[in-house]
Amino acid sequence: MAPKKDNTRSVLITGLGGQGIILAGNIISSALFSKGFDVKKSEVHGMSQRGGSVESHIRFGRTVYSPLIPYGCADYLIALDENEKKRLHRQLLPGGSIIFLPSENRTALPSPRTLNVYLSAVFLRRLGFSKNDISGYMSRIVKKKYIDINNKAIEAAFRNSASF
Amino acid sequence: MGRELFLSGNEACALAAYDSGCLFASGYPGTPSTEILENLGTYNSVNTSWATNEKVALELCIGASFAGRRSLAVMKHVGVNVAADPLMTLSYTGIKGGLVIVTCDDPGMHSSQNEQDNRHYALFAKIPMLEPSSSAEVYNFLTAAFYISEKFDTPVLFRLTTRICHSHSRVFPGKKSELPASGFTINNQKYVMIPAWARMRHVFIEKRLALLEKFSCSSKFNIFEKGAGSRLIITSGISYQYVRENFINLPVLKLGMTWPFPAEKVRKISCRFKEVMCVEELDPFLENACLVSGVNNIIKRPKNFYIGELNPERVKALLVNFKDFIKPVKQNIPAARPPALCRGCPHAFMFEIFRDYGLIVAGDIGCYTLGTLSPYNALHACIDMGASIPVGLALRAASAGKQKNKIISVIGDSTFFHSGITGLIDAVYNKRSGLIVILDNRSTAMTGGQDHPGTGKTLPGNISVRLDIEKIVRACGVNRVFQVDPFKKTETAAVIKKSLALKEIVVIIATRECIIYGPQKR
């Protein structure tokens, strides 16, 4: 997981206000930052919180310049909402990956509100992060009373993400 | 190597202020600036407050500065309009303890009513301006800003934009400074701006600007990065990152201190190139400064670029094709979902009533501005903080016929404290008539539920006096005041209905805590 000399990689997280997009972005970016990558993360808070579309852009590599992902250059699209997935699909590079859990499969989650942590864990697992590492980053960010339920979501991600 | 942190621009700003020995900070919540003071509020040693408005915030910082304390005034771009009165004369008096005014501009209007370019305030007030391009620069530049302020006896404008405020990147913090308080020194010719002494201070300002320009030319804020090609790019702030994202090898003059404009340095470097292009967000500020400085090989950007936020693709299109980037049109792509009032929001009940009665609503700044969208379509004017009362009452007075009794003013609790009260006093004094509805959700909800004089708590979370809106309204001379509960829709609707045609000022206070931030506060 040492920083490579390759180009910057980009992760776009999307969903609706209230789904915890910013929290997912914080978990993922702090995980990447702790591995020594140069990381930039950008999102807009404020009015868009009120149930509107929310995007978090994360970029990592050796040296990152723009915090915003250039149009059509996302390597990964993590979508918490079906409509947002469709809307931002064109931000994905050809051959890029989508990380999404269709609503009919969400019964695996300990609670629908843990979808953000679940998908973050699926993504980080792919990059080679361990369950314990992810749990550690999550625990530092979420409120104490929500740590247990989110650990269950991380467990679920490690059980199920083979199907992605 | 020292500590390395991953911080947003706002977090870096708060940490830098703390590390610089800033002991006094004030502002009013406003996206994208809010988190700066929220973060500073976590340090017990810093006197941090939500002021009633930005003018008060800056005036507080002026007092602290005159006592020799480093102080920080924080606001969004439109907040500087409110604080402009003290700002313009603060430039004359200068400071004692370093004073920095953070302006957080919102290109693209993610959460604002306009996208004014506050770089003009530096020119207007004749004060230096710094524009960092990353969280690390926010930290380093703010530390330097206090130094500049004290060295040149001037307030410093620290200009951030949404993309700097709300982007996280790495920061290498330095050591914390501890500064002793020096106290106030009586010096009427400096601190009392009567015409005779202000005239002398204006002479000082012009000298100060000349010194600052020299400083800017030789400072490490303005760096020339060599590269290949015959075109020089001059850029600042986040635009620099977009240039580098696309072109790692172009020659770039990166300006961190954009006012006073380092004319000499820019001229010297520019004449080595065939052409010069400024890559900047919003107004042609650098472009104009180049022209005034005698840089005559400049290519002006197409005017499209005066509008909206930049991004990597727009900058690429500008530099490659001298055109703006237009997203390709594709079929069957869902639209972005607009923001909406939350489910269970007490304001929503009120807007249903306004809609059902077919009222014309002069609105204000807050979550409730969303009452203008479907399914309510029940807010018909929104200008600036506090405008609802004067705009609505004059709209009513100047209207005729049936429309007259359908016009009301709607304002939130925090906005009422910010600048609604002056409009209300005017209304009573000038014997105007009309209905004013105060939507009191006990929170500055739009920006994340900050406290205000009506919540009984201060920024660091201490218990304080809770100012009673009804008592204030009555003290302003309003005799007809009604308290309603938005959840009791039928009763509330009846009170509104009977208030519409009264020939005096009527105030209805609709109180119900914010559905999101209310429960969090308890």
Instruction: Tell me what ipTM this predicted complex has.
Output: 0.93
Domains of chain B: 5-218 (3.40.50.970), 222-321 (3.40.50.920), 346-521 (3.40.50.970)
Question: Does A4 have pLDDT greater than 50?
Answer: no
How confident is the model over B78-97, as a mean pLDDT?
98
What is the count of residue pairs from A and B with beta carbons less than 8 Å apart? Answer: 117
Q: Which two tokens stand for residue A40?
A: 């930039």
Indicate the average pLDDT of chain B. Answer: 96
Question: Does B348 have pLDDT greater than 50?
Answer: yes
> Would the CB atoms of B110 and A50 count as touching at under 8 Å?
no
Question: Does B518 have pLDDT greater than 70?
Answer: yes
Question: Does B426 have pLDDT greater than 60?
Answer: yes
Return the axis-axis angle of helices B195-218 and B263-270, rounded to nearest 10°: 30
Rounded CA separation B370/B363 (Å) = 10
- pLDDT for the residue numbered A5: 43
Rounded CA separation A85/B211 (Å) = 54
Hey, of B104, B164, B165, B166, which one would you mutate to test binding to chain A, going by the most A CBs within 10 A of its CB? B166
Residue B149's H or E segment, with its range, is helix B135-152
Rounded CA separation B263/B260 (Å) = 8
Q: Which two tokens stand for residue B442?
A: 């006990």
Q: Which residues of B touch A16 (CB under 8 A)?
A: 337
Conformation bin of residue B311: beta by default, left when phi > 0, alpha when psi is -120 to 50: beta
Q: Which residues of A touch B367 (CB under 8 A)?
A: 50
Q: How far is A22 from chain B (nearest CA, A)?
A: 11
- pLDDT for the residue numbered A162: 55
> Would the CB atoms of B340 and A39 count as touching at under 8 Å?
no
Return the axis-axis angle of helices A115-126 and A147-160, rounded to nearest 10°: 50
Are A82 and A49 in contact, with CB atoms under 8 Å apart?
Answer: no
Question: Does B293 have pLDDT greater than 70?
Answer: yes
pLDDT in tens, B141-156: 999 999 999 999 999 9
Rounded CA separation B138/B221 (Å) = 12
Q: How many CB atoms lie within 10 A of CB B284?
A: 18
- Look at A45-59, A110-124, B139-153, B246-260 and tell me which has the smallest mean pLDDT: A45-59
Question: Does A164 have pLDDT greater than 60?
Answer: no
C-alpha count within 13 angstroms, C-beta hemisphere, residue B182: 13
Please report the beta strands in chain A, taking only residues with DSSP state E, as ranges in sequence order.
9-16, 38-43, 53-61, 74-79, 92-100
Hey, of B35, B115, B163, B245, which one would you mutate to test binding to chain A, going by the most A CBs within 10 A of its CB? B245
Hey, of B36, B325, B337, B444, which one would you mutate to test binding to chain A, going by the most A CBs within 10 A of its CB? B337
In degrees to the nearest 10, what's the CA dihedral of B230, B231, B232, B236?
-150
Chain B CB within 8 Å of residue A42 CB: yes
Q: How confident is the model at residue A161 (pLDDT cuts 50, 70, 90)?
A: low
C-alpha count within 13 angstroms, C-beta hemisphere, residue B73: 33
Chain B CB within 8 Å of residue A3 CB: no
Rounded CA separation B308/A90 (Å) = 21
- Residues of B in CB contact (< 8 Å) with A are 6, 31-32, 110-111, 134, 162-163, 166-170, 238, 241-242, 244-246, 311-313, 316, 325, 327-328, 330, 332-342, 367, 370, 446-448
Q: Which residues of B touch A15 (CB under 8 A)?
A: none
Rounded CA separation A35/A24 (Å) = 17
Residue B51 contacts by C-beta under 8 Å, 6 or more apart in sequence?
Answer: B26, B27, B28, B57, B60
Class of domain A9-163: alpha beta
Q: Which residues of B touch A89 (CB under 8 A)?
A: 333
How confident is the model over B467-480, as a mean pLDDT?
98
Q: How confident is the model at residue A3 (pLDDT cuts 50, 70, 90)?
A: very low
> Would the CB atoms of B110 and A86 count as touching at under 8 Å?
no
Return the axis-axis angle of helices A21-34 and A131-141, rounded to nearest 10°: 120
pLDDT in tens, B170-213: 999 999 998 887 899 999 999 999 999 999 999 999 999 999 99
Rounded CA separation B177/B146 (Å) = 12
Distances in Å between the alpha carbon of B373 and those of A65, A87, A135, B225, B351? 37, 21, 41, 48, 10
- pLDDT for the residue numbered B192: 98
- Strand pairing class (A38-43; B167-171): antiparallel
Q: How far is B297 from chain A (nearest CA, A)?
A: 28
* Beta bridge partners of residue B101, listed in sequence order: B73, B157
pLDDT in tens, B356-384: 999 999 999 999 999 999 999 999 999 99
pLDDT in tens, B9-20: 999 999 999 999
- pLDDT for the residue numbered B338: 85
Q: How confident is the model at residue A78 (pLDDT cuts 50, 70, 90)?
A: very high
> Would the CB atoms of A47 and B446 count as touching at under 8 Å?
yes
Are A154 and A117 in contact, with CB atoms under 8 Å apart?
Answer: yes
pLDDT in tens, A103-133: 999 998 999 999 999 999 999 999 999 999 9
- pLDDT for the residue numbered A49: 61
- pLDDT for the residue numbered B454: 97
Cα torsion angle, B482, B484, B486, B492, sign: negative
Question: Does A2 have pLDDT greater than 50?
Answer: no
- Strand pairing class (B298-299; B275-279): parallel
Domain range annotation of chain A: 9-163
Residue A32 contacts by C-beta under 8 Å, 6 or more apart in sequence?
Answer: A39, A58, A60, A127
Q: How many CB atoms lie within 10 A of CB B502?
A: 13
Q: Which residues of A touch B447 (CB under 8 A)?
A: 46
Q: How confident is the model at residue A17 (pLDDT cuts 50, 70, 90)?
A: confident
Are B70 and B20 in contact, with CB atoms under 8 Å apart?
Answer: yes
Q: Which residues of B touch A87 (CB under 8 A)?
A: 333-336
- pLDDT for the residue numbered B331: 80
> Would the CB atoms of A41 and B163 count as touching at under 8 Å?
no
Q: Which residues of B touch A10 (CB under 8 A)?
A: none
Give the CA radius of gyration of chain B: 25
